Chains A and B, each alone.
Chain A
Amino acid sequence: MNGFLKTSQLPYCKGCGHDLIAKKSAEALEKLEYAPLDVIVVTDIGCHGIIDKCLNTHTVHGLHGRSVALGAGISFGIENPGKKVLVFIGDGGSTIGLQHIMEAARLNLNMSVVVHNNMLYGMTGGQTSGLTPRGFCTTTSADGNPFAGYDICELAHTAGAAYSSRIMGVGDISGELTEAFSVEGFSLTEIMEICPSYGVKLNPRRKLAEIVESSGRKTGVWKNERTGFVLEQGKKCNDLMEELKEVENDFPARLKGNLSLVLSGSAGEGIQSAATLLAKAAMRSGCHVTQKGSYPVTVGVGFSTAEVNISTEPINFHGIGVPDVAIITSEDGLTHSKKRIEGMKGGMLFLDDSLDAPSTGAEVIKRDFRSVGARSACLYAVFYFAMHTKLVDTEAIFMTIEESGMAAKMPLDKIKEKIQA
């Protein structure tokens, strides 16, 4: 017994390797001169996890298979390098939480993991795990596991762990554990054991060393020369309100009441940015606005539709069923908004002249919107709408573009020429 353990009577079945692991881990921590409260032991479900009450360290007892991820979270939160995160997990838990081990190894998080590999789920009744070797008998594969188990050390090593090791859970393993626990970064130590209650009973006459050897596993240490994970220091924290540009109210009011617009075209043709420009320009005349986009899951193909509400009153509900104005600049957009256009009993439809107007009650206004290039077709249409209806100030749109710094990327002269023609 040492300062890390409250008792030498650990709560395991007689002959269980977990007893040795707990005691030798405690010795290793002592050799490394940690104080018990410098250490956070994270355990999960499985026989290894009942060690908590015997420890003088901080203890965190989590969900089956998740102790590595939980320990990772603790490791991220520790600013003091004098602290040690030690994770205990079984072969069953390692199967369940394999991804967590890979991730912690990939990031080389500062923590040590001890995999108690007794080749089956002990606490739940001796079932096969992902680390059960081929031929090993369990309660759920009575004739022997037909599949080979994962090589957890190789996986951790390949993922980037600074240190992976496999040792036999017999004799004085405190030296090996001391080495593993002293690693800067991620160390994983797989300790081979056999569960007397299930493993021994179900595999009589087999010896641990022979089982390990016949499964092709070797003891050893595998290293990656890496420094341990370091959190980005002095990360910039932008004030999200301050970084937003104020929209000035510097144009006279144009609109009276509400106006709802649907802008529809193809993905990548600047529909959303044209809608934002329109919304901001309307704000400059003191209007309230809303703007939302909708597009298929793959944002680079198919339709792109934006909905804009402009109102002299504050807007609560921002949904648009049938709009007052539709601006359509491509076939994709027309297909997507066709039903709405057909539902229009009045209002205006601004349509690229390559497209056929569906039957609609809206006044149809056709123009060569795409002639300024597909990427600017919607912007041209927005300008044309503003010029034609005088509901939004074209100058306000120009100024909004100037201030956004996007002017150089847009064929503004061409658009000006077109709308003045």
Chain B
Amino acid sequence: MQKTSNERKVLIDGSRLITESMARAGADSFIGYPITPANLLYLYASRRMPLMLSAPDEITTLQWMSGLSATGKIPVTATSFPGFALMIESVNMAFMMELPMVIVLVQRLGPATGTATCGAQGDIPLLKGMISGGHQLPVLCTSDFNDCWKLSAKAVHLAVELRTPVVLLTSKEEVMTQKSFSTGVLDAIEPVSRSFYRGKEPYRSYNVERDELVPPFLPVTAGKWQVRLNASTHDKNGILQHSNDEAIGNTVRLERKARETLSGYTFYELDEQEGAGTLLVSYGITASAARDAVKRMREKGKKVSLLVPKTILPAPAIYSEIIGKYKKVVIAEENINAQFADLLFGTRIPSSISIVGSAGRMITPPEILNEEECV
């Protein structure tokens, strides 16, 4: 892989990496409105994105993004729970219309406005249930600066390739903390290649070839064929239908789209040590504590493996398969209700798993080590 630039040591935060990565990947517009802790993304985007608009509120943000996406742009916004909650109906609309866009969700402590400047990992159940009908859209989660770079670009690619909104999940401590960093380790980012419908038949906005799951896209600015986008239950032409077979078939395709393409965007880091009977599992900000815990255990001669899930939704089956291979598993995440374990196992969390959680503060490496010793 070609590197972006020579080894340069800089003091940098995750917001900058995310914004630059998305812009290089092809995101061309940012709709912003202020919300802590996502403000740095808004600020950087104002300097970076070819098109930058300040929206008056969260619903407008998502509607403007949807409109832009309908014209062929790739819009991005960044928010946190209070704003995201207001966007959800419109995210459903974009999901139903199949409009590419990326929403960076910077988690902070809730409930409600909670504490704006305090990090958290509390939004997985919300993301899982946000689309009425239980359908999923891809949620990728950053665990370090390399992810801020790589996954942000992936999110843009995925949005275009799957014709869908994508959520890039992160948290306050990841996007607001500055760290020394060598830019030399960053891979070059491929801009997404975008192709629009070129068929000879009239375009049908939601028509797919037999085995395909993603209909080709055509902007509403097209001059040759009519484009119809629809947030209500619709047929392949995009015409509102109550519940005929074709329209329900379209909704079923939406359900299948994110799930059946999942193997193409299942991202995780698995650092397996031969002979290890213990597995630490952690994602997002807590992965940094888990990486330190693994290091310390290995320094002490203990065998341990580490799993850092990066594709959070739809939840890839591989995670429970990996977890199933270990006698002892510790899952650490910054909430007090075992959200990730719940996502994988529901109420039947295997007895091999123990949970480290916290509210209002980062989980530390010693907490993970203590739990490991107690299991």
Contacts and interface: CB of A to CB of B under 8 A. Distances in A.
Interface in B59-79: 59-60, 63-73
Given A279-B178, A316-B288, A74 B228 contact: no
Interface centre among A40, A74, A103, A289 (most CB of B within 10 A): A74
B165 to A, nearest CB: 14
Interface residues of A, number: 69
Given A56-B226, A276-B11, A238 B63 contact: no
A358 interface: no
A56 B237 CA distance: 12
A201 interface: no
B100 interface: no
A160 to B, nearest CB: 14
Nearest to A102: B56
A211 to B, nearest CB: 31
B52 interface: yes
B239 to A, nearest CB: 5
A243 B8 CA distance: 12
A80 B221 contact: yes
B20 A241 contact: yes
Contact of A292 (B29, B70, B177): B177
Given A58-B227, A63-B89, A74 B362 contact: no
A241 B4 contact: yes
B130 interface: no
B142 to A, nearest CB: 14
A248 B176 CA distance: 23
Given A236-B47, A241-B183, A77 B56 contact: no
B133 interface: no
B370 interface: no
Interface string A240-269: 111111111100000000000000000000
B52 A235 contact: yes
B207 interface: no
A1 interface: no
A237 B16 contact: no
A240 B48 contact: yes
Interface in B223-251: 223-232, 234, 238-240
Interface centre among A37, A66, A83, A317 (most CB of B within 10 A): A317
A419 B103 CA distance: 49
Nearest to A38: B223
A79 B219 CA distance: 12
Contacts of A140: none
Contacts of A74: 67-68, 70-71, 220
A238 B47 contact: yes
Contact of B66 (A73, A236, A241, A315): A73
Contacts of A316: 144, 288-289, 291-292, 295
Contacts of B5: 241-242
A60 B229 contact: yes
A103 B48 contact: no
B63 A69 contact: yes
A231 interface: yes
Contacts of A319: 173, 289, 361-362, 364
B53 interface: yes
A326 to B, nearest CB: 18
Contacts of A321: 364
B365 A317 contact: yes
A128 B51 CA distance: 39
B11 A289 contact: yes
Given A61-B240, A246-B8, A317-B288, A77 B67 contact: yes
B279 interface: no
Contacts of B179: 288-291, 315, 318
B240 A53 contact: yes
A7 to B, nearest CB: 13
Interface string B184-210: 000000000000000000000000000
A70 B12 contact: no
A70 B67 contact: yes
B90 interface: yes
B173 A238 contact: no
A238 B48 contact: yes
17 contacts: A52-B228, A52-B239, A58-B220, A58-B226, A60-B220, A73-B70, A76-B51, A78-B71, A78-B221, A79-B221, A247-B180, A288-B180, A291-B178, A292-B177, A315-B179, A317-B288, A319-B362
Interface of A: 36-38, 40, 45, 50, 52-53, 56-63, 66, 69-80, 83, 99-100, 103, 231, 235-249, 276, 279-280, 283, 287-295, 297, 315-319, 321
Query: 10 tightest A-B contacts by CB?
Result: A73-B67, A77-B71, A69-B63, A73-B64, A74-B67, A240-B20, A292-B177, A319-B362, A316-B288, A77-B68
